[in-house]
């Protein structure tokens, strides 16, 4: 099962918005929000909440790609998020996420018994390439309680 299929199956909002997961690696994740009138805002573009979910979903995809091998010992959780809407988004929009810290550094903190935090930067673009939004989601890997 691909990361996109896994997210669509386990995160109902991703499935609800019909998000399309493309490239998903530890370095980059690309997710598309198709143009759907039921998720438009008052000016006919994607609603801010749908764009937030798009960006957060792209960040989750890269987190799973980068740290999926560690899910047996830690749970990835979003800690906080910031989004800036830069230009009017119309039509299909694409979120491209990049990891803000080297995977090895984050895993080293986890190995040391810490709860690492790391940012994921997301650019949201429309079909003409214009950046319509910029987002940062800070994630943590919460170590599982040993029982």
Matching residue, tokens 């029982």: 147
Fold of 3-143: Thiol Ester Dehydrase; Chain A (3.10.129)
pTM: 0.94
Distances (CA, A) of 49 to 5, 60, 105, 143: 22, 16, 32, 30
Question: Digits of tens for pLDDT over the chain (147 positions)?
Answer: 788 888 888 888 898 999 999 999 999 999 999 999 999 999 999 999 999 999 999 999 999 999 999 999 999 999 999 999 999 999 999 999 999 999 999 999 999 999 999 999 999 999 999 999 999 999 999 999 765
**Other CB atoms closer than 10 Å to residue 23's CB: what's the count?**
14
Contact 19, 73 (CB under 8 A): no
Region of residue 18 (left: phi > 0; alpha: psi -120 to 50; beta: else): left
Q: Where are the domains of the chain?
A: 3-143
The residues that bridge with 97 in the sheet, in sequence order, are 29, 122
């Amino acid at each position: 099962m691909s990361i996109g299929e896994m997210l669509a199956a386990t995160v109902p909002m991703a499935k609800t918005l019909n998000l399309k997961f493309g490239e998903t690696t530890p370095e980059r994740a690309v997710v598309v929000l198709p143009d759907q009138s039921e998720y438009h805002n008052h000016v006919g573009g994607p609603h801010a909440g749908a764009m937030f979910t798009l960006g957060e979903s792209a960040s989750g995809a890269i987190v799973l790609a980068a740290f999926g091998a560690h899910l047996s010992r830690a749970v990835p959780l979003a800690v906080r998020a910031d989004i800036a809407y830069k230009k009017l988004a119309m039509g299909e929009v694409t979120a491209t996420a990049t990891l803000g810290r080297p995977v090895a550094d984050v895993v080293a903190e986890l190995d040391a018994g810490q709860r690492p935090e790391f940012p994921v930067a997301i650019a949201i673009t429309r079909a003409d390439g214009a950046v319509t939004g910029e987002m940062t989601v800070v994630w943590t890997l919460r170590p599982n309680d040993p029982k």
